[in-house]
Amino acid sequence: MPTVRAEIHIPKPPAEVYAAAKDLEGLKPYLKDVETLKVLEDDGRTSRSEWVASAMGKKVRWVEVEEWDDAGLRNRFYSPEGDFDRYEGTWVFEAAEGGTRVTLTIEYELNLPIFGGLLQKLVKKLMQENAESFLEGLKERCLA
């Protein structure tokens, strides 16, 4: 199963960066390929959101469950429904060099007919670019 990993340093305290990441809808303006992002439920520890993104002219939809660990400044997420055959990962927020190192890891499987075997490498490249863009957006939001 393909895995992508992205990491970024943000010169803000871990709790502040973590709080910005928990506000998913607030990150939407920084996600270039995400067309819609709507939080359906949020009790502070677990949230459920619906995402629609475009990839190579095709819309990809999924529901994402976020499990937030406020004490550990970590997050685990997964998709129980949608176009991904499997989609899960973690966010880790660690103090580092006068700020926060954020690591985002995503494991996924996407077997849509339009994404045949020949295009899987391109899909992985797009997933990597989107993970990096997501972290850049988080950094931009934290520094705004």
The total of structural domains in the chain comes to: 1
Instruction: Please tell me the predicted confidence (pLDDT) of residue 96.
Output: 96
Specify the CATH number for the domain of residue 104. Answer: 3.30.530.20
List, for the chain, all residue ranges whose pLDDT scores fall below the cut of 70. 112-118
Instruction: Please tell me the predicted confidence (pLDDT) of residue 110.
Output: 81
Interatomic CA distance for residues 92 and 102, integer angstroms:
6
Instruction: Please tell me the predicted confidence (pLDDT) of residue 117.
Output: 61
For 9-38, the pLDDT digits (tens) are 999 999 999 999 999 998 888 888 899 999
Q: Domain of 8?
A: 3-143
Helix, strand and coil content of the chain, in percent to the nearest 5, comes to 30, 50, 20
Range list of H helices, the chain: 14-22, 24-27, 120-143
User: Which residues lie closer than 8 Å to 77 by C-beta, 6 or more apart?
Assistant: 64, 65, 66, 67, 88, 89, 90, 91
* pTM metric for this prediction: 0.90
